[in-house]
Structure 1
Amino acid sequence: MTAIPFDNSYARLPERFYASVGPTAVAAPRLVRLNEALALQLGLDPHWLKGPEGLAMLAGNSVAEGATPIATAYAGHQFGGFSPQLGDGRAILLGEVVDRDGLRRDIQLKGAGPTPFSRRGDGRAALGPVLREYIVSEAMAALGVPTTRALAAVLTGEAVRRETLLPGAILARVAASHIRIGTFQFFAARRDAEALRLLADHVIARHYPEVAGREAPHLALLEAVVAAQADLVARWMLIGFIHGVMNTDNMSIAGETIDYGPCAFMDGYDPATVFSSIDEHGRYAYGNQPPIALWNLTRLAEAMLPLLAENQDEAVALAQSAVNRFNEQFQSALVAGFRRKLGLVTEQPDDVLLIKELLDAMQRA
């Protein structure tokens, strides 16, 4: 088999960070789409990926040399309620590669079979959601929004049972990492301070090396994640994107859009727009995305308190100060983006009012 240059840093963390589990083979894999440009960026051979050995790897029927398949552990607030253990229930991280720009990237198979975190689920995915994530994530990348990417979509040759029988599929997903706010929450819920420190140090080394030399690197990490999320959500708002399920386990520490479920782009401007059928109270409506991001970041800050200071009151004050920067950073990114969209080449004091009047008019009309 052609070697893939895997270098699996997350799998070198202690075993309580993940479960070692391989993908479950499928009956008759067939390639639906391969993202050849992304493959080349990752240093992979598209011709090999399209061939029988590459297809077998993308379908989970074989494990490439150097891969260390794992399902990662995490917790999360789902629609406001906390679950202390969630984890990858149908996604298996094959490993990491360093791309042509020197950036580390995860390669994950979504829909690759059950894991210890499946919670009675079948671990599979249907073709429709796989194609939606492929199309929307690649659209987001083309629009300049930080996002996971789609390497390939593969039909399994097997049916999955949802409301009806549907064709099964697997998405080969690429991400800067799959570390989430919920990953920090997982260890905080277990009062595992050692794991929290290991996780934070891993995130700094992988995503925010510029803070490593700071006097308080873990506080600087929290500040960096807050800034990344403020910029990300502003980019969503600027293109009318609705994530749909902004649970803490669906928010990436790397500041990428992750886990495309009932997501969509608004056709007509209305901040109350909801696209998730299970979001009965509009918690994750378009207009609620900024305050929900802030709420989620507050949960991250709570999880990181043991890393910020030995004194609880001091840790809380530092965390609050970091999280309080979100609104200003979000508004700054949002207004700057609207200025670009509207061709406002110079900053004027009434730009914010002009933008608000435009949005009000769009909502009325």
Structure 2
Amino acid sequence: MMRFLNSYARLPESFYQRIDPEPAAAPALIRLNHGLAARLELDLPDSDADLAAVFTGNRLLAGSEPIAQAYAGHQFGQFVAQLGDGRAHLLGEVENAAGERFDIQLKGSGRTKFSRGGDGRAPLGPVIREYVVSEAMHALGVPTTRALAMAATGQPVFREDELPGAVITRAASGFVRVGTFEYFAARRMEPELRLLADHVIERNHPAARDAENPYTALFESVCAAQAELMARWLCLGFVHGVMNTDNTAVSGETIDYGPCAFLDRYDTEAVFSSIDHLGRYAFNRQPTVMAWNLACLGGCLLPLLDPDEARARATGEAVLDRFIPTFTDRYRRELCRKIGLPPDDEGFALARRLLDLMRRSRADFTNAFRALCDAQTAPAPFTALFATSEEIAVWLDDWLTRLTQTGSAEAARAAMRSANPAYIPRNHRIEQAIQAAMAGDFTPTHRLIEVLAHPYEDQPENAEYAAPPRAGERVTQTFCGT
């Protein structure tokens, strides 16, 4: 039996605004994630009409106490003291029989006091993108917010053009961001900062409770979670697009899929966001940007780390100094797993050599690693992806030699197939699904979601979803939708 706990709504009202979602004109359900709904043990109505009312905010579930959360943030390096949920409503926190807790939030559900002149709504396209990519990330094994449902509002939103509106309902272990800590730190609200840290420890980092200094342990835990997340992103070719501190969840989950994208051809400097003119959030800069974001978090936590400012800074810097080495270790392990080798110096060197060959050949990132899984017995599909035929042949010989030295070839193949997906949310496929949905056809959206639910499995009947974009299909820019 579902029950709302609403622990965030029990914090002081400086943390949020109590506000109901704005009614949608003509709600219509697009998709419900039945598997996630079952895990959450939600008491949902049976009819699509009633479900649409719930997932646009027209009808509240029993026990829900909607709020809009306050937070600040560094956006492209510039601090904004007040941001907050300008088009989102946290419905509350639920706990299932297994003791798992999830926050449930509507996004695109209307204005709040944090809207800053915006309409509080979301266009259909970004809602589809977030549903598709967040659920694909979950299937890929990446910590992420989840998509529970999407529903049309039956009313337009206006950006450059008039667009159909929609709402996405998402679930997460928490929606607290680095920017949430910045909100209170900027206002020197130390009691609230401590309450926030205690809340995050309870919800997301419970092991920190028993540490000598729980707040130091919290910072360490957040840094470790983000190091793991960055390694997973880079080894799947994921580009977040807007790694602002207000888009960095302290839970270690991927959050806010705006102008995100996956690499097709391997390009270390790939930028997709239409507003990232200087490449701040390029693919290869993501770990460094995360270190910067974590430095912002560390600065907020200083009053909690030690009453003496000098000692607090020394403590925070010591924690932060371990982030890049921790990321490098996680990245080494993940990258070596993709080529079936132990994460030793030789394996890591081979993996980096392969990445360099991929970069120079502009090889498809996902397909190259997937083809490598079978290259012991069928090398041609792998080597055909490279322009430098002699160099890739030499690399393949070196890899096969090392693979033979380190253990079972069949075990390596199985491990590689669990690390290298055949299917990712390719940008052109998402765009095709969005364009069809704008014309009223959601079949491509549903099919794409279903294919991506099993990314590591061979799906011969869906082989076209593994193909890179043809000429004219390649997506070079993605958009936030705010």
TM-score (norm 2): 0.74
Deviations 1:159-216 (A, max 9, x none): 0001000000000011111000000000000000000100001111111111101111
Structure 1 residue 49: deviation in Å?
Answer: 5.7
Matched residue type, 2:161: T
Give yes or no for contact 1:4–1:64 (8 Å, CA) kept in 2. no
Going by fraction, where is helix more abundant, 1 or 2? 2
Match of 1:220 among 217, 220, 229: 217
Residues 266 and 100 from structure 1, CA distance in 2 versus in 1: closer, same or farther, beyond 3 angstroms? farther
1:349 corresponds to: 345
Structure 1 residue 44: deviation in Å?
Answer: 1.7
Deviations 1:66-119 (A, max 9, x none): 101000000000000000110000000000111343211011000000000000
Give yes or no for contact 2:2–2:95 (8 Å, CA) kept in 1. no
2:103 corresponds to: 106
2:428 corresponds to: none
Residues 1:70 and 2:63 are matched in the alignment? no
Matched residue type, 1:332: D
Structure 1 residue 231: deviation in Å?
Answer: 0.2
2:283 corresponds to: 286
1:257-336 equivalences in 2 (<5 Å): 257-336=254-333
2:166 corresponds to: 169
2:25 corresponds to: 27
Whole-Å Cα distance in 2 between the matches of residues 54 and 32 of structure 1? 10
Deviations 1:18-71 (A, max 9, x none): 01111000111000000000000000256x264443321211112222101000
Give yes or no for contact 1:41–1:100 (8 Å, CA) kept in 2. no
Whole-Å Cα distance in 2 between the matches of residues 98 and 21 of structure 1? 22
2:470 corresponds to: none
User: What is the SS of the residue equivalent to 2:345?
Assistant: coil
Structure 1 gap ranges (5+): none
Matched residue type, 2:153: T
Matched residue type, 1:5: R
1:204 corresponds to: 201
Whole-Å Cα distance in 2 between the matches of residues 327 and 97 of structure 1? 35
User: What is the SS of the residue equivalent to 2:210?
Assistant: coil
Give yes or no for contact 1:31–1:50 (8 Å, CA) kept in 2. no
Whole-Å Cα distance in 2 between the matches of residues 86 and 70 of structure 1? 14
2:246 corresponds to: 249
Give yes or no for contact 1:49–1:55 (8 Å, CA) kept in 2. no
Matched residue type, 2:271: V
For the pair shown, the structure with the greater C-alpha radius of gyration is: 2
Whole-Å Cα distance in 1 between the matches of residues 172 and 91 of structure 2? 12
Whole-Å Cα distance in 1 between the matches of residues 6 and 320 of structure 2? 31
User: What is the SS of the residue equivalent to 2:165?
Assistant: strand
Deviations 1:267-311 (A, max 9, x none): 011110001011000000000000000000000000110000111
1:37-186 equivalences in 2 (<5 Å): 37-45=35-43, 48=45, 50-186=47-183
User: What is the SS of the residue equivalent to 1:304?
Assistant: helix
Matched residue type, 2:159: R
Structure 2 gap ranges (5+): 362-482
User: What is the SS of the residue equivalent to 1:212?
Assistant: helix
Residues 209 and 167 from structure 1, CA distance in 2 versus in 1: closer, same or farther, beyond 3 angstroms? same
Residues 100 and 146 from structure 1, CA distance in 2 versus in 1: closer, same or farther, beyond 3 angstroms? farther
Which deviates more, 100-109 or 225-234?
100-109
Residues 76 and 50 from structure 1, CA distance in 2 versus in 1: closer, same or farther, beyond 3 angstroms? farther
Whole-Å Cα distance in 2 between the matches of residues 19 and 301 of structure 1? 26
Residues 283 and 52 from structure 1, CA distance in 2 versus in 1: closer, same or farther, beyond 3 angstroms? same
2:8 corresponds to: 10
2:422 corresponds to: none
Give yes or no for contact 2:87–2:109 (8 Å, CA) kept in 1. yes
Matched residue type, 2:289: I
Matched residue type, 1:359: L
Whole-Å Cα distance in 2 between the matches of residues 145 and 50 of structure 1? 32
Whole-Å Cα distance in 2 between the matches of residues 304 and 219 of structure 1? 8
TM-score (norm 1): 0.97
Whole-Å Cα distance in 2 between the matches of residues 349 and 81 of structure 1? 39
Residues 1:339 and 2:336 are matched in the alignment? yes
**Cα RMSD (Å):** 1.1
Residues 105 and 49 from structure 1, CA distance in 2 versus in 1: closer, same or farther, beyond 3 angstroms? farther
Give yes or no for contact 1:4–1:65 (8 Å, CA) kept in 2. no
Indicate the percent of aligned positions where both proteins have the same amino acid: 55
Deviations 1:289-346 (A, max 9, x none): 00000000000000110000111110000000011111111111111111211111x3
Going by fraction, where is strand more abundant, 1 or 2? 1
